[in-house]
Amino acid sequence: MTVDVVVIGGGIVGCACAYYLSAAGLKVQLLEKGAIGSGASKAGMCHIVTWEEPPIHVKLEMASKKLYAKLTDELPVDMEYRPTGSLALIQNESSYIAMRDLVIRLGQSGHRCEMIQGREMRQLEPLLAEHVFGGALFHDDVQVNPLLATQAFALGARRMGGLISPFQAATGIILNAQGTRIEKVRTEKEDIPTKYVVNAAGAWAGDIGKMNDLVIPIIPRKGHLAVTEPLAKGILCHQTLFSAGYLDAVSGGDELAIACNIQQTQHGNLLLGSSRQFAGFDTTVEPHVLSKMLKLCAHYFPFLKTVKILRTWAGLRPYTPDLLPIISPVPWIEGYMIAAGHEGLGITEGPITGKLITQLILGEAPAFPIEQLAFTRFMPD
């Protein structure tokens, strides 16, 4: 069957693209080599971030947050959307100053955020360790369950006529004889004639690029996570907590980087993260990484030492060298779009990415300027 758009990748980004493209009246087929959400999107935490810089990220984050608030009513699956806010845990004075500068900048553009002194921190979170220097509250952050959000987009797309094809990998992208235009996407089962392809294959976007000699500089950045037994609601007063060192872990180099991220889900389980390392496509859980991560979480909340861990896993964040996603056409191949490379912000930025790709395909002006996200930024001058 001929379609308008083939989306490759059934993570949050691909499913959001399929949803908004279908809502715009286009005939869409989404190909996913495994189950829907089986890549990074089932491995992520729940945090919809609204403050992580640079400014283009903040734009994407805020736009997505607004979309999520509407999507909870629009989509056919409850994605456990909750306006939780988040609390940063600051360890020392220099981190406090850096965070205060961020809070001032964000406050000037209308964000609801504030700094918290050390003593007040224990009033806000009674189980917090004594050594925490201070904190910052980000009132606009929310939580969603990443796997449910991904499935919600897929089901929403299907209800609007989209074809959702799990366990069907793209094996080739066929261009016209001149190599300038998309003609078909090949799978083991069929060739699918289409005008547009959206490469939304997350950490695998580079492999999809190779099918047409495109060098897409996205590599996997492994992240571990642990899930605890369900705990009483209210054991933590804030459902999303993270050490301010998280930002250093994101921008860190090749070394293993660990930060403290703690989120309590709607069902009471705590998600304990997070780690960052470059280890190819290996998703084995490494005891030494897990142990470092759990020790750091317990350093901030000592009661965690006695809490039972139910499950652990590792997933692959799609990393780009400048930590910005690629949301862009490939200018020399008509119909080729890339929507990948969101690293640790894909759950947050999935919805707006789906919207922007839809606007690009419809030939509409994007919701805001996105030149910084162009694929061509990685081309030699």
Interface residues with ligand FAD (CB under 6 A)?
A: 8-14, 31-34, 38-41, 43-47, 169-170, 200-204, 208, 223, 225, 273-274, 315, 317-318, 340, 342-348
Buried b (16+ CB within 10 A) or exposed e, 46-57: bbbbbbbeeebb
User: Shortest Cβ distance from residue 251 to ligand FAD (Å)?
Assistant: 15
Nearer to ligand FAD, 44 or 134 (CB): 44
User: Shortest Cβ distance from residue 225 to ligand FAD (Å)?
Assistant: 4
User: Shortest Cβ distance from residue 358 to ligand FAD (Å)?
Assistant: 16
Which residue matches tokens 């009033």? Answer: 123
User: Shortest Cβ distance from residue 58 to ligand FAD (Å)?
Assistant: 13
In sequence order, the 6+-apart residues with CB closer than 8 A to the CB of 208 are: 8, 9, 170, 173, 199, 201, 216
Nearer to ligand FAD, 206 or 329 (CB): 206
Nearer to ligand FAD, 202 or 335 (CB): 202
Nearer to ligand FAD, 79 or 96 (CB): 79
User: Shortest Cβ distance from residue 296 to ligand FAD (Å)?
Assistant: 14
- DSSP line for 200-251: --GGGHHHHHHTTT-----EEEEEEEEEEEE--TTSSSSSEEEETTHHHHHH
One-letter amino acid for residue 113 of the chain: C
User: Shortest Cβ distance from residue 13 to ligand FAD (Å)?
Assistant: 3
Helix (H), strand (E) at residue 7: strand 3-8
Nearer to ligand FAD, 204 or 375 (CB): 204
For the record, the structure tokens of 374 come out as: 């162009």
Nearer to ligand FAD, 9 or 335 (CB): 9
By the 8 A CB rule, do 315 and 282 touch? no
- Interhelix angle 12-23/346-362, rounded to 10 degrees, is 40
